[in-house]
Amino acid sequence: MNYALHLLIYLSIYGIVAISLNIVSGYCGLLTMAHASYFAIGCYTYALATTKLGLDFIPAVLLSAIVASVMSLAISLPAWRLKGDSFILISLAVQQMFFSLFQNWTTTGSEPGSWANLTNGTFGLSSIPKPTLLGMHIADIASTAALAGTMLITCLLLSRLLLLSPWARLLQSMRDDELASRGLGKNVRLAKVQAIAISCGLAALGGALYASYVNYIDPTVASLDESMLVLCMVLVGGLGNVRGPLVGALVLIAIPELLRFVAIPDAIASNLRLLIYGLVLILMMHYRPQGLAGNYRME
């Protein structure tokens, strides 16, 4: 039972991140490799806000989302000019820089979380408190799962409302033909900043939830592999609609769990999981480039 709840929590976390990535990749047509950085910004902001500032769950989560949204300017301003391969590269650059920042903002001897040793380097931040919500202390796995599920559903509803609005139609027009969209008087630069900020804010929400669940974070949450995993999810699930990313998150979380039922030595289980991700990506590109449930094909 605990195992199922654990899976539900993971599904919620990655579901939220996949939903957020879909806004950038599916509706703006920009493949970003920097999404794990914003997930990690969420993790770190949450961790610092709860341990250092002593904030409650909701204020800490909101703070993470806001910090990530502001940081998202690092990829949204270059997106004014760059698209395609160039944008992928700049997002990669942003990803690497954030990763180095998490890894290197450290001074031996200072207390973790202080200004000189903000991220505590590769050792990461530990003993992040369990969430406290409206005076309730959410410590056991069942209530955490309920919290995570609620957050997933909230995000899903938010994204549904957003993605059926004229704003999403504006994004789609910009994705199809940016010049034509500008010729109709649309401020596509503002729209890109908004979309990327909202997306990164949502990713940070997922990150905060993750930090509160595992109680310990280190720079690997910001690694390129993490970005790729989320990218796999939206690509497998499909871009450009509300349900695609959720399908992707479900599939990619289910695959490795199914492997547990086959007797495989633990040592190679994680390698095998990645191997399967790779295979899935290749097969998708050959046989279903629009994803399992998507309606937009990445150009």
Partner 1 sequence: MQILINGIITGLSLALLSVAFATVYLPTRVFYLALGAVYTLVPFIALACLQCSMPFYIAMLAAILTGTVLSLGCEFFNHQILEAKRASSGAHLISSLGIYIVVTQMAAICWGNETKVLRTGLDNVQHLSSVILTQTQEISFVIASSLLVAYYVWLCRSKVGLLFRAMADNPAEFALRGHNLHAMRMTSFGVSGFLCSVSSLLVAYDIGFDAHGGLSSILLAVVAVIVGGRQSFAGPLAGAIILGVVRCLIVWWLSAQWAEAFTFGILALVLLVRPDGLLGCRFRLEAAA
Partner 2 sequence: MDRSMLPNSAANAAPAQRGSVALSITKLRKAFGGQVVLDDVSVELHQGEIVLLRGDNGAGKTTLLNILTGNLNADSGTIETSVNSNNETFHFPAPWWTNLNPFNHFTPERLSREGIGRMWQEVRLFNSLTLRDNISVAQPDQIGENPAWALLRGHTWQQQEKQTARESEAMLSNLGLSGLEDRGADKISLGQSKRVAIARAIEAGAKILFLDEPLSGLDAIGMKEVLALLKQLTASGKVTLVIVEHIFNIPHILNIATTVWTLNQGTIHREAPTAVQCDINKSSTEDFQQVLQQFVTTAGCVSNASLAQQAVLSTIVPPDSEQRLPVLEVKDLVVHRGTRLIIGETTEDGTIRGVSFKLCKGQVAVLHAPNGWGKTTLLEAIAGLLPISGGQILLNGKSVASAPAWQRAKLGLSLLRSRDNCFPTLTVGETLALSGISKVPDSLKIFAKRRIGALSGGERQRVLAASTLSKDNFTLALLDEPFSALDPARVEELSSMMLDKVKQAALLIAVPATLQNRKY
Q: Which residues bind partner 1 (CB under 8 A)?
A: 31, 78, 81-82, 84-86, 88-90, 92-94, 96-97, 99-101, 103-104, 224, 228, 235, 268, 271-272, 274-275, 277-282, 284-286, 289, 297-299
User: CB of residue 73 vs partner 1: minimum separation in angstroms?
Assistant: 13
User: CB of residue 174 vs partner 2: minimum separation in angstroms?
Assistant: 9
Compute φ and ψ for 164, nearest 5 degrees.
-105, 5
The stretches of 52-84 forming alpha helices (DSSP H) are: 57-71, 73-76
- Give the whole-angstrom CA distance, residue 297 versus residue 284: 12
- HSE at residue 79, side-chain half, CA atoms within 13 A, is 30
224 binds, among partner 1, partner 2, none (CB under 5 to 8 A by kind): partner 1
The residues facing 137 across adjacent strands are: 132
Contact call for residues 206 and 39 (beta carbons, < 8 A): yes
Contact call for residues 41 and 71 (beta carbons, < 8 A): yes
Give the interface segment with partner 2, choosing from 9-17, 41-49, 161-169, 256-264 (CB under 8 A): 161-169
For partner 2, give the closer residue by CB, 54 or 166: 166
Residues within window 266-295 making contact with partner 2, judged by CB under 8 A: 295
192 binds partner 2 (CB under 8 A): no
Residues within window 141-160 making contact with partner 2, judged by CB under 8 A: 158
Which tokens go with 168? 């999403």
One of 240, 248, 291, 294 touching partner 2 (CB under 8 A): 240
One of 45, 64, 119, 194 touching partner 2 (CB under 8 A): 194
Residues within window 19-78 making contact with partner 2, judged by CB under 8 A: none
Picking from 224, 232, 223, the residue whose alpha carbon sits closest to that of residue 276 is 232
166: CB partners within 8 A, 6+ apart: none
Picking from 137, 154, 138, 135, the residue whose alpha carbon sits closest to that of residue 62 is 154
User: CB of residue 272 vs partner 1: minimum separation in angstroms?
Assistant: 7
One of 167, 256, 259, 290 touching partner 2 (CB under 8 A): 167
- Give the whole-angstrom CA distance, residue 248 versus residue 288: 13
Residue bearing tokens 């399967």: 276
Interface residues toward partner 2, by CB under 8 A: 158, 161-162, 165-167, 169-170, 172-173, 175-177, 179-189, 191, 194-195, 198, 240, 295-296
